[in-house]
Amino acid sequence: MILYDYVLSASCYKVRLMAALLGTPLTLRAVNFHPGREHKSPEMLALNPKGTLPILTDGDTVLTDSADILRHLTADHPEWRSTDDDRWLAFASALNASLGLARLHDVIGYDADIDKARAAGVAALRTLEAHLTEQRFDGLIFLTGSKPTIADIACFPNIALAPDGGVSLDPYPSVRLWMRAIRSLPGFIEMPGIHRLHELAHPV
């Protein structure tokens, strides 16, 4: 499988992280997203007319949405799936349009209504904090239960990188505990801005 990848993209990191946790090898093809805008080149647009990353190719199959790619990677790994995943994958997509956009604005100068993007990100963080606090009352640390699924991996990057877009995670202790649980999963990999907590035992 080939991942057309940009190292600073939260959406590409979702895919790299999922593959690493599964132990699934990926061939990475680095795309000069910034400043080269290579994702808009004729070669890339032929692969993905939307002009976005990530793109995953698996033989003749071409997938251009991170949610579809996570489903594809875990097709033979039911332990990484739950019946509640779909609503969290939709939530993760909305996070990309709020926290993700705020980060791209601050980090690489994307045009955005920054106040609107940050406000939508804060609203999403409050929703997540309330959900994860309820989960903790039930002794559950992940979004859909006691084990991580694609729901957690889809949401994690834009949440963990929120401070890059000027949104603090200080007010959300349940979210920070959840991030710690993900960062201490066996096989976890880093990206710039997200570090491993390899000294921690799994808290569950």
Ligand X SMILES: N[C@@H](CCC(=O)N[C@@H](CS)C(=O)NCC(=O)O)C(=O)O
Q: Which positions lie near ligand X, rule CB under 6 A?
A: 9-11, 39, 51-54, 65-66, 93, 96
Q: Which is nearer to ligand X, 66 or 174 (CB)?
A: 66
Q: Closer to ligand X at the Cβ: 141 or 159?
A: 159
Residue 51 Cβ vs ligand X, minimum distance, rounded to whole Å: 6
Distance between CA atoms of residues 185 and 73, nearest Å: 18
Which residue number, 11 or 82, has a Cβ lying nearer to ligand X?
11
Name which of 50 and 202 has its Cβ closer to ligand X: 50
Which of 87, 99, 114 has the alpha carbon at shortest distance from 11? 99
Q: Are 202 and 185 in contact (CB under 8 A)?
A: yes
Strand partners, 5: 30
* 3-class secondary structure, 198: coil
CB of 189 to ligand X, least distance (A): 17
- Residue 4 CB, shortest distance to ligand X, in Å, is 10
Considering the complex, what minimum distance in angstroms separates the CB of residue 89 from ligand X? 9
- Shorter beta-carbon distance to ligand X: residue 74 or 96: 96
| Residue 58 near residue 24, CB atoms below 8 Å | no
Task: Provide the β-strand partners of residue 30.
Answer: 5
Q: To the nearest whole angstrom, how small is the minimum distance from the Cβ of residue 6 to ligand X?
A: 7
Cα dist. 149→59, 65, 88, 176, 180 in Å? 25, 17, 10, 17, 15
Say which amino acid occupies 2.
I
